[in-house]
Structure 1
């Protein structure tokens, strides 16, 4: 399979469906994943047509992509972009079918964790020479490195967002005798708060976090680092570290949450969907910063009774990572017949005028962050961050302490996620770790992972 793209796309696809998000299309785009006819008469004769696939995100995200593609098409007459929106849960099937038929899009959205594997597999075209050097120089080195293999850049970063925050209902905290101004900073404190809710508040599930294999495999990367100081594979990807006893605190915590009845037997929604908390079914929920946009847009009346805090650390030290900085980029397919034109679209959308990507962060309620220094500086100077009442929490207490998404093969994440799932189900933790260690060791050998990092 490759990378965590399957997880993140599935999460966002499910969250979008749960929220009733419409499928938007631009420039005459047809059904998701299908080439759209150019039926509106736009564009000049002889223009190069570039098809762009975009993951289905929130209504605000989708509207930004649609409006900017329309603006690009109107700004010049040499390139015409056809934008197609594809739900996350359908992406892999549609992309695989398109690649087999030779109709893959020229360019598409990628999350950071899939860029390097796809580049190594020859699926992406290098674009560093096709985007002005000033655009690359403007990037935070962490995110430029995330799209770089062998000194070549294979995508242009668009955004990053914290993947793990603690959302909670202040009204339900007060009902349980808890102080909403002092959210838990350790997992012991979170468990105690959840127990208080369970004892005091009827018909409310105390807490929700990842509760299925896919979500457990990616949403716990930061907690894996928090527990052991490393991920379950060595930095050079040559050795499994999944059997480290230090991971015991993570697996034991997830086991205890279920055993003590602090989680629902079946999650009320996927990890990426904040609606159960907003609808009063949960007192606390782990989710990513994208949920803030949903809350302030769709549940504005509830905002006074909602709060956001860093996800707890095992020892209470919130300067240690408890989540990742995930995000999205745009890349060019290696088999595109028009790589220069596709890269020109990417450059216009993301790497040139700061106001073009800057509009995106305003549209999404300042819940995400730009990897471009000029865009970030402009937002910090001029943006109305009051649209996100928890902006200061993200900037002051979260984003500086999180790790980037790992880029190793998805089978590594899945092996450790399986161990977490077994622990959550009450199975033997040591045996679950041993199996994960064996599975990761086999993946290293079979996929030749050793030495691929970097």
Structure 2
């Protein structure tokens, strides 16, 4: 899970303890709950998300298990830092969960036969209600390989209005361009104490790999691979400018050199260690749940762009969806649970979107209508910014392999930290991307996808 491999092993253990009534404590074991006896058991793996998301998963599993007597969901929380290893090991051993939560693109997993196609598991009307944006991340070659829960922008700008006012900045006017960001950071620096910074962004190559995809497209007009996936295209001088933006922020001391906590967390902003932060829209739900005192002073806007043009390619659209393993032992029972939780009564999903503070877009229009009708929506003014100013200007996540994102992330980090010149860093990325193209036969895969 590349976008939100989410908190620590300790946090996962705590959440797992809270879910003990939902199943066994060890992935791969059958549930010990007496209520599971005589039922078809479905193994469901998840991760550690934000506080309201964790609560929703716990509730729907318990509610489903209590609502009928045929299927029992055995929900397990797998720590984010162990996810890839545990899932791959389970798949190799034939003990993979029937159902698990996945972020990011599914094209590679679908193409290589790791996922089960879903169209035959549901009546057509169940999948017909999925929005076009959610279909984009849930289908491969026109067939569903996932049931989407949500889509959400991966890059938004958060700013502390109180600190802006202290710095002599207009608290209602965030920066929109790189130059305006430099000016804001320069003004904010004097009001920040030691160990505090005007801005918090990615500083590690992995996070850079997924957070800057839209910026790469925005600044250069293309991604670092040709449209037919036959050749690398990472040495554009415009990418040097993107590296230069982060290098300037780093060189001036306006962003930390080391991460201030989890890469996908708003902790540093919530603790007022930074005045601004680049983060996904999910950060607002984390702030509301864990740092409510900061919410009244928090502004939300599109992330800054090189030229200040906020009308295109301002963020990628992330997502969360449920996928069924290709070797699932109980696919029909699994589909029953999916339909109940994600494809049925919108009231089941409503608490998820309300409690996460209206920061995520439902994958079904029917759910959107129910969520927007909630009275609390009027108290979440940022939701209009997220869904009117940001979501329509987003792009889908890249379909090519993650290693290409990582090569660009490595280049950004190396150039930012001065380990290589921007041109040298991009030259290395060019070679690494071409290796991936040749190793994976990406030109053939692209031709197959376009056929």
TM-score normalized with structure 2 length: 0.93
Please state if 1:452 is matched with 2:445. Answer: yes
Residue 57 of structure 1 is matched in structure 2 by 49
Residue 352 of structure 2 is matched in structure 1 by 360
Counterpart among 19, 26, 35 of residue 28 in structure 2: 35
Cα deviation for residue 228 of structure 1 reads 1.3
Query: Residue 20 and residue 307 in structure 1: after superposition, are their counterparts in 2 closer, same or farther (change >3 A)?
Result: farther
Instruction: Tell me how many residue pairs correspond in the alignment.
Output: 444
Contact 1:213 1:417 (C-alpha < 8 Å) held by counterparts: yes
Matches within 5 A, 1:114-193: 115-193=106-184
Contact 2:3 2:104 (C-alpha < 8 Å) held by counterparts: no
1:156-190 Cα shifts (integer Å, max 9, x gaps): 11111111111111121111111111110101101
Query: Residue 380 and residue 9 in structure 1: after superposition, are their counterparts in 2 closer, same or farther (change >3 A)?
Result: closer
Cα deviation for residue 37 of structure 1 reads 4.7
Structure 1 residue runs of 5 or longer lacking an equivalent are none
1:425-453 Cα shifts (integer Å, max 9, x gaps): 12211111111111111110111111424
Contact 1:136 1:144 (C-alpha < 8 Å) held by counterparts: no
- CA RMSD between the two structures: 2.0
Cα deviation for residue 104 of structure 1 reads 1.0
- Give the secondary-structure state (helix, strand or coil) at the position aligned to 1:293: helix
Counterpart among 271, 296, 299 of residue 288 in structure 2: 296
Structure 2 residue runs of 5 or longer lacking an equivalent are none
Whole-angstrom distance in 2 between the partners of 1:74 and 1:303: 36
Residue 336 of structure 1 is matched in structure 2 by 328
Residue 195 of structure 1 is matched in structure 2 by 186
- Give the secondary-structure state (helix, strand or coil) at the position aligned to 1:179: coil
Contact 2:12 2:77 (C-alpha < 8 Å) held by counterparts: no
1:237-267 Cα shifts (integer Å, max 9, x gaps): 2222211222222111011111111112212
Contact 2:415 2:422 (C-alpha < 8 Å) held by counterparts: yes
Whole-angstrom distance in 2 between the partners of 1:57 and 1:171: 29
1:94-135 Cα shifts (integer Å, max 9, x gaps): 11222233211011001132x211111111111111122112
Whole-angstrom distance in 2 between the partners of 1:43 and 1:423: 55
Whole-angstrom distance in 1 between the partners of 2:365 and 2:409: 35
1:311-343 Cα shifts (integer Å, max 9, x gaps): 111111111222111011011111112222212
Cα deviation for residue 411 of structure 1 reads 0.7
Whole-angstrom distance in 2 between the partners of 1:110 and 1:139: 17
Residue 362 of structure 2 is matched in structure 1 by 370
Contact 2:404 2:436 (C-alpha < 8 Å) held by counterparts: yes
Residue 393 of structure 2 is matched in structure 1 by 401
Matches within 5 A, 1:245-324: 245-324=237-316
Residue 86 of structure 2 is matched in structure 1 by 94
Whole-angstrom distance in 2 between the partners of 1:145 and 1:266: 35
Residue 211 of structure 1 is matched in structure 2 by 203
Cα deviation for residue 234 of structure 1 reads 2.7
Residue 420 of structure 1 is matched in structure 2 by 412
Whole-angstrom distance in 1 between the partners of 2:13 and 2:382: 25
- Give the secondary-structure state (helix, strand or coil) at the position aligned to 2:238: helix
1:189-218 Cα shifts (integer Å, max 9, x gaps): 011110111134433311110000111111
Cα deviation for residue 387 of structure 1 reads 4.7
Residue 239 of structure 1 is matched in structure 2 by 231
1:349-404 Cα shifts (integer Å, max 9, x gaps): 11122222223112222111102111112222345214534112112211111112
Whole-angstrom distance in 2 between the partners of 1:30 and 1:71: 17
TM-score normalized with structure 1 length: 0.93
Contact 1:167 1:309 (C-alpha < 8 Å) held by counterparts: yes
Residue 224 of structure 1 is matched in structure 2 by 216
Cα deviation for residue 26 of structure 1 reads 5.2
